[in-house]
């Protein structure tokens, strides 16, 4: 039986670890704290003002996260929508940074952002106790970048945010780039040079069918194999060993040892067998897979007055039903009812 002490509260867990019925241990929680976003990336959003899901109070997210941490969650990633839009974020990080895992270690606290507001927020977030940040950037030339985000001036703003994050010590700084054939696949080689020049880890992500519109086809996906071949032609790559089984990215360094890139290949080389993640949406629903067809209303339980014990039981039961894998590209594949921006990436 494990004992956790969080912000002065001590409680016990009946399960030593949160596990699913496929034998996977779940230790990674992604929490969307808003599904609002200040960008309208063409591969993610339609550009129309759509409806948003409700947001919880920051205290309510904290209460739910605390129950997850009591069940063995050791890594919390705050996301959205755009999490830097959320008022109360810095204080939320400050609180989370005081918590301990059931092993008594500090939580691994990370955040994913488009970087637009990072120049002002990097130092306060680091001071609050954030460990790492991942910035999404889908091009290294300003014109392509702004065609994708549809926000004039966004490239320079994000670049300043990236540099502020590095200067604040939010490292290793990761840059995530979703590649789409015909949109930004001409950026691959430029990103390899960017990784070396800026001292950041660039991670290419295969495009998944999670957009608001209907853009995804197998042909638009730029696969791991193709990315490795293309970079290898200009800068030879050497694959690095995985640090842990649940690592999503295949990691490469350059032959001269300077710089690192990663490739996350959920489409061409799915890693569901090693998945250690669950998600909490901005309105407090548990999603056990990005491609879940069902959501589990954890916040509904909280609102109805459930105590921590009841919330814990609900989470344990829900996670047991985590899907074995996704079915992207297979006949009968169904897109989930929410797009990436409303789930939390
Ligand atoms: N606004 C924050 C950001 O831009 O990083 C957090 C939310 S955003 C939805 C998280 C990540 O999901 C971004 O890196 C984005 O590029 C990625 N993403 C969005 N739609 C995607 C898709 N269909 N396939 C793969 N990645 C996607």
pLDDT along the chain (345 residues), means of 10: 41 67 97 97 91 96 98 98 98 98 97 98 98 98 97 98 97 96 95 94 96 94 96 93 87 92 94 95 98 97 98 98 95 93 94
Q: Is 115 in the pocket of ligand 1 (CB under 6 A)?
A: no
The helices-and-strands tally (H runs, E runs) of the chain is: 10, 14
pLDDT, position 5: 42
Q: From the CB of residue 72, how many other CB atoms can be counted at a distance below 10 Å?
A: 20
Q: Is the dihedral angle over the CA atoms 192, 198, 202, 207 positive or is it negative?
A: negative
- Using left for φ > 0, alpha for ψ between -120 and 50, and beta otherwise, residue 291 falls in alpha
Residue whose pair of structure tokens reads 């990097």 in the numeric block: 122
CA of 15 to the centre of ligand 1 (A): 33
Asked whether 178 and 144 are in contact (CB, 8 A), the reply is no
Residue 52 tokens read as: 């948003």
pLDDT, position 248: 87
CA of 340 to the centre of ligand 1 (A): 6
78-102 per-residue burial string, b: 16 or more CB within 10 A, e: under 16:
bbbbbbbbbeebbebbebbeebebb
CA of 211 to the centre of ligand 1 (A): 9
Domains and CATH numbers, the chain: 18-343 (3.20.20.70)
- Type and span of the H or E element at 174: strand 174-179
User: How far apart are the C-alpha atoms of 240 and 243, rounded to whole Å?
Assistant: 9
For atom 17 of ligand 1, which residue has the closest CA?
345
For atom 25 of ligand 1, which residue has the closest CA?
207
pLDDT, position 121: 98
Full-model pTM: 0.94
pLDDT, position 16: 61
């Amino acid at each position: 039986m494990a004992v956790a002490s969080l912000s002065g509260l001590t409680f016990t867990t009946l399960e030593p670890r949160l596990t699913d019925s496929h034998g996977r241990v779940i230790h990674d929680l992604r929490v969307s704290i808003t599904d609002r976003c200040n960008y309208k990336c063409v591969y993610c959003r339609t550009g129309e003002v759509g409806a948003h899901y409700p947001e919880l109070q920051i205290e309510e997210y904290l209460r739910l996260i605390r129950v997850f941490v009591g069940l063995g969650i050791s890594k919390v990633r705050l996301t959205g929508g755009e999490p830097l839009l959320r008022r109360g974020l810095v204080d939320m990080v400050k609180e989370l940074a005081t918590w301990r895992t059931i092993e008594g270690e500090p939580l691994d606290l990370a955040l994913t952002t488009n970087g637009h507001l990072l120049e002002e927020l990097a130092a306060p977030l680091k001071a609050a106790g954030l460990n790492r940040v991942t910035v999404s950037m889908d091009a290294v030339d300003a014109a392509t970048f702004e065609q994708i985000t549809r926000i004039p001036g966004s490239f320079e703003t994000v670049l300043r945010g990236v540099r502020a994050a590095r200067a604040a010590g939010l490292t290793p700084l990761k840059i995530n780039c979703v590649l789409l054939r015909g949109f930004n696949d001409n950026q691959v080689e430029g990103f390899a040079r960017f990784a070396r020049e800026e001292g950041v880890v660039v991670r290419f992500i295969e495009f998944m069918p999670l957009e608001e519109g209907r853009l995804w086809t197998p042909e638009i996906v730029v696969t791991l194999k193709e990315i490795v071949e293309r970079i290898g032609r200009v800068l030879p790559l050497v694959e690095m060993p995985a640090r842990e089984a649940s690592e999503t990215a295949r990691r490469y360094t350059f032959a001269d040892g300077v710089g690192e890139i990663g490739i996350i290949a959920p489409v061409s080389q799915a890693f569901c067998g090693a998945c250690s993640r669950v998600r909490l949406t901005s309105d407090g629903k548990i999603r056990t897979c990005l491609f879940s067809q069902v959501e589990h209303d954890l916040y509904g339980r909280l609102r109805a007055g459930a105590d921590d014990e009841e919330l814990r039981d609900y989470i344990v039961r829900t996670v047991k039903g985590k899907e074995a894998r996704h079915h992207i590209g297979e006949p009968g594949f169904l897109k989930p009812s929410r797009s990436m921006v409303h789930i939390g990436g």
